[in-house]
């Protein structure tokens, strides 16, 4: 198998990291790390972290050059070498990855590739990057510092907020909008028609989808995810929403702020999902259903009715060896009759004991 080449040149001193992460350093400010890694795979040029106490055992034996820990594990960490103490090590690790990525991206100056096809009626902000063979149509607006990846399509009158990055081959349809600091991955289609048809004598008559898509700030959208435009009004994705790959958002759905959906989740038309909800992988929400804030739908579970109380909700057939499943599944199809038989037994018992 091919090996990934090691990244040339990204390195940070521990002092620099302590300053930028707002963490306390116990160790040499001048020591340098050039890699982020797990405790068990760490080398002396690696910075690692402990967020889950389960991995504490690996701490003593890790070869990491520096480890990020919480105050509770400070002594254990210091006894083995350089340590960064942070109030939330996992969050600190997240910000560390951001420092890495920012430096990686800094190597690429913003530029408009000559092969991009940009309509003269489009308006581009300052420091915008447009990749090779991207298309930007009339009246589109691209905010400052935004990145339009190679071969992207930005439709007529669409807008991309400041600092938002579109990976290669994203489609942002006409009159669709995404706010600032967003990330949109490859193959995403925003603004395809909602699935609306009126039945007419055994055929389907198209309801043209005249609305758009309105996406807030700090939204991330995974690869090949689809967000349909609304029938009359907009489909709305509020600030801070995170959608994984291959997610389906139908027309006129409203997704509340900071809600997250894992891969292959699907939301049917006009559903209204609250803020701070999660949909696990492959979870679904039926059409016109409402979920309150802080509702969590488990993997492959479908919210077929509205859920107005926060909590975790599940409906997944448990996995079993195939032979056991066959027996249980067959019995499941007689379950209602089994209940009747239990009732009959209970009634008989009552009669018997009366």
The number of residues in the chain equals 354
Return the number of the residue (28 or 144) whose C-beta is nearest its own copies: 144
Give least dist CB 335 to its own copies, A. 4
Which residues, 6+ apart, have CB-to-CB distance to 322 below 8 Å? none
Return the number of the residue (28 or 233) whose C-beta is nearest its own copies: 233
Return the number of the residue (77 or 154) whose C-beta is nearest its own copies: 154
Give least dist CB 303 to its own copies, A. 6
State the greatest distance between any 2 C-alpha atoms of the chain, in Å, as a whole number.
Answer: 93
Token pair of 177, please? 């909008």
User: Burial, 209: exposed, middle or buried (Cβ in 10 Å; 0-12, 13-18, 19+)?
Assistant: buried
User: Burial, 171: exposed, middle or buried (Cβ in 10 Å; 0-12, 13-18, 19+)?
Assistant: buried
Return the number of the residue (129 or 245) whose C-beta is nearest its own copies: 245
Token pair of 73, please? 């594990």
Catalytic residue among 251, 254, 258, 296: 251
Return the number of the residue (56 or 183) whose C-beta is nearest its own copies: 183
CA distance 160 to 47: 35
Q: Are 104 and 121 in contact (CB under 8 A)?
A: no
φ and ψ at 204, to 5 degrees?
Answer: -110, 125
Known catalytic membership, residue 127: no
Q: What angle separates helix 322-332 from helix 335-353, to the nearest 10 degrees?
A: 60
Cα end-to-end distance, the chain, whole Å: 77
Give least dist CB 126 to its own copies, A. 18
Give least dist CB 237 to its own copies, A. 9
Give the active site residues: 251
């Amino acid at each position: 198998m091919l090996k990934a080449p090691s990244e040339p040149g990204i390195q940070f001193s521990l002092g620099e990291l302590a300053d930028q992460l707002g963490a306390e350093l116990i160790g040499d400010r001048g020591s340098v790390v050039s890699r982020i890694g797990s405790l068990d795979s760490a080398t002396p040029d690696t910075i690692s972290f402990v967020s889950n106490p389960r991995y504490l055992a690996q701490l003593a034996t890790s070869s990491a050059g520096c480890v990020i820990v919480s105050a509770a594990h400070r002594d254990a960490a210091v006894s083995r070498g350089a340590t960064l103490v942070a109030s939330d090590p996992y969050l600190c690790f997240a910000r560390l990855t951001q420092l890495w990525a920012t430096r990686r991206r800094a190597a690429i100056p913003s530029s408009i590739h000559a092969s991009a096809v940009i309509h003269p009626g489009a308006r581009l902000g300052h420091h915008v990057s447009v990749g090779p063979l991207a298309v930007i149509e009339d009246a589109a607006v691209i905010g400052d510092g935004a990145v339009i990846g190679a071969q992207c399509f930005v439709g007529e009158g669409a807008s991309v907020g400041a600092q938002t990055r579109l990976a290669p081959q994203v489609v942002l349809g006409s009159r669709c909008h995404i706010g600032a600091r967003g990330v949109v991955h490859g193959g995403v289609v925003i603004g395809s028609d909602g699935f609306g048809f009126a039945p007419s004598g055994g055929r389907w008559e198209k309801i043209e989808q005249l609305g758009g898509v309105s996406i807030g700030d700090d939204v991330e959208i995974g690869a090949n995810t689809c967000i349909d435009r609304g029938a009359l009004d907009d489909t709305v994705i509020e600030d801070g929403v995170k959608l994984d790959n291959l997610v389906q958002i139908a027309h006129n759905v409203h997704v509340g702020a900071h809600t997250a959906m894992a891969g292959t989740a699907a939301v049917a038309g006009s559903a209204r999902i609250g803020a701070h909800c999660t949909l696990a992988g492959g979870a679904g929400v039926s059409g016109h259903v409402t979920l309150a804030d802080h509702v969590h739908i488990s993997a492959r579970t479908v919210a077929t009715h509205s859920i107005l109380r926060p909590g975790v909700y599940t409906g997944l057939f448990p996995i079993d060896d195939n032979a056991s499943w066959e027996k249980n599944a067959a019995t499941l199809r007689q379950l209602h009759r089994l209940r009747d038989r239990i009732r009959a037994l209970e009634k008989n018992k009552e009669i018997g004991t009366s």
